[in-house]
A and B are shown apart, each in its own frame.
Chain A
Amino acid sequence: MENMVNIKINNMPLSVPQGATILEAARKAGIQIPTLCYLKDINQIGACRMCVVEVKGARSLVASCVYPVNEGMEVFTNTAKVIKSRKTTLELILSNHDKNCLSCLRNNKCELQKMCADLGIEDSHRFEGENPKFEKETSTLHLVRDNNKCILCRRCVAACDEQHVGVIGTNNRGFDTDIGCAFEKKLADVACVSCGQCTAVCPTAALTERDESHTVFEALSDPTKTVIVHTAPSIRATLGECFDMPIGTNVKGKMVAALRRLGFAKVFDTDFGADLTIMEEATEFIGRVQNGGVLPMITSCSPGWIKFCEHYYPDLIPNLSSCKSPQQMTGAIIKSYYAEKEGIDPKNIVAVSVMPCTAKKFEVKRDNQSGTDGIPDIDIAITTRELARMIKNAQIDFVNLPDEDFDPALGVSTGAAAIFGATGGVMEAALRTAADTLTGQDLKDIDYKEVRGTDNIKKAKYNIAGLEVKVAVTSGLKNAAKLLDEIRAGKADYQFVEIMCCPGGCVNGGGQPIQPASTKNFNDLKSLRAKALYDEDEAQTFRKSHQSPLIKKIYDEYLEKPGSHKAHKLLHTTYIARSKY
């Protein structure tokens, strides 16, 4: 039983757990105190001063996001003094904010804009004066930083530190304060892993994904091109949020319908590529175990994780599976098997992938990501947010669309692939196939629940056909670093490790729909979104990758067998050590 304390908020008596902040307590009373900098657990610095409240007996206004309640406390959240303070703070923030809201990527989705509307700002130009002017930072493939829109809330800095990367921070002081990299280097010149978590927490459009939606529209307008799209497992679980649907709604059918209406020639499913990944990866794993290969083998689906490994743990590169990610495998098959079958010159195919991830934009341009004659496997990777933007640009009535199915040529998949989008999903999918392969049976007990969920590091031991397999699963690079330090120090004897870059896996990827902090702080996005994927898995006829009729067909007709010469040429890749500084 928690210890409770009795307080009053706006004269209403309330019993709240000891240790709660005033912000949390007020929420229980139905009052959402406004915040800009506060991100639960990762950015609790009381810097923005939007959350100030009056506490009886306190000398000045206090920051409710960090101020704990105590017995008998009397709090007032909307006195004239509080309201004046918040409005002044907001007007000061606006005084050096680029207020071109109508042409801003975050128009209508901006936390600062919403707060001005909610709090009733009277004069957005009250404090005019000299403003610092910043060049847009466009050095990377995955994001754009526009510090003219930055409000110095430091959420991005916290997100980057939480990822154990920490390449952005607050530089200089006072008027000159800005968010940037050490020694004012470009983001492309430091060890940024491209995860995009900073873009998912920015309250304004100071940090955005590099928007490539116009490039896709251009391709769609080119009559000489066959434009093919495929969508990652987690997109169906999140896209609906951009259209105000409840978090965790599976919108697969509407998503496919929307993509057809945008004009894509074929709408394929990256889940197919995920099944293919499992075939190759499970085979690689069994091979490493049986032939004394480098163990533990670590999954390679997450390009942010791959880049992290290359920068910060280059000594563990031999542990990485050589499998390309499902995005790249799907692209490689589109431009080889599918192109040959349909008699299309792969040079005239534009393969577009819809991903939860900004690092996928980087992955597309990596070396050794071209299965067919130097033609890139994927041409354009867009995020969930960019797809939503395209659907809105095209004025497609998403919510009222009928449900449609993927094009079957590369649109059939299994439950194993569906769960790729959540932490533990790749491991579980691989174990399902590896266990059947090693036992030669169609095992019925296929729920590896120990590797599911959002615990930081999940460890489990399985006995498969007399072989003891120790596995570990983690997501979020801070957790990954802990696990990797263990492996590096020789303190761990896992054979198989799954690492996803973003906390909770792809459902919480850096390219996913942005939920405001007021939602994020009080809802478990990761679990709500992941549930949609596990429900999809449960509902599938085939729940093991090797049982997919499409997978069987492609190996029979084209790839021969997992790990074959042809499979290696198309579906495997290499990595390089990168510098940390």
Chain B
Amino acid sequence: MSSVMTSAGAVARHRLFWPIVALAVLLLACVLKSSTFLDITIRDGHLYGGPIDILRRSSVLLLVALGMTLVIATRGIDLSVGAVMAIAGAVALSQIAASDNPESLAVVLSAIGSAVLVCLLIGVFNGFLVAVVGIQPIIATLVIMTAGRGIAMLITGGQITTVTSAPYKTIATGYWLGLPVAALIAGFFFLAMALITRRTALGVLIESVGINPVASRLAGVRARTIIWTVYVLCAFFACVAGFIRSSDIMAADANNAGLFIELDAILAVVIGGTSLAGGKFSLVGTLVGVLVITTLTFSVTILGIPANAVSLFKALVVILVCLLQSPVVRHKLRARRRATAPAPVEVPA
């Protein structure tokens, strides 16, 4: 009996408990409103339904938040991700639009290749400012955040570049093995990073740099290289997210692609339990954070919340989750529970 209560308490104390509860409540609300919401059917040879839409919609934010988690773990922050997304779309689509044969796979691949190159350069630039020059990350990445959209505008000539290209369209709207390609791409990079950070020393090195850069450097960790690496990775993931976003609408919208996504990504990381002070990070936590935010956005439409109340609704949910997660509130809640019921014996971890 007491062991059951203890383990229930442990579950409730887990830092992902409240985000997962929020996710479940949002999904439940959607099901109550539209009973077929969670149904997955096969349509045109691929899976179709609410959960599949959420997975596909999550892919962009997941990629951006993945890079952001690593950057935040080193005590950094990357505000330039939204602008990098816009640049990725602008470079890729303007090349495809300028080519003679937009339907050819080779053209699409070379366009993607050059966009990746540009984004990697931006990552190197960000990393250089932070790791070598020693500018504070929030300032260093602000440069590209503001200038980046201007660069994207220059590339597209101030227009919204629209193209028709079946291979490029596959990135966001295609299906493979019945699943959306976008979700598969994001899932692949997520698993790859989870494996690399946990099966090699990279994860520990990132955390040590985040906890104390000086001490880790003195202990022989190449802090500069690690920091540089995470900014390049972050720019790369933002670039892939930019492909998915632009492929989704088959247009490069320099002004709106990935606008404010840096804030959503930071929020996802924080909901996932990674501290902005750096150090310990959790990719699974970030995944949960991303799902909460995407489902929240999605539920607005399903629940039919009036357009001018959308921001308020989102804010309330996010504040609630953050409050329930905060150590002070959790401590108070626990104290109250103890006062009413005899406390279970604390088991040392």
Do A and B pair up? The answer is no
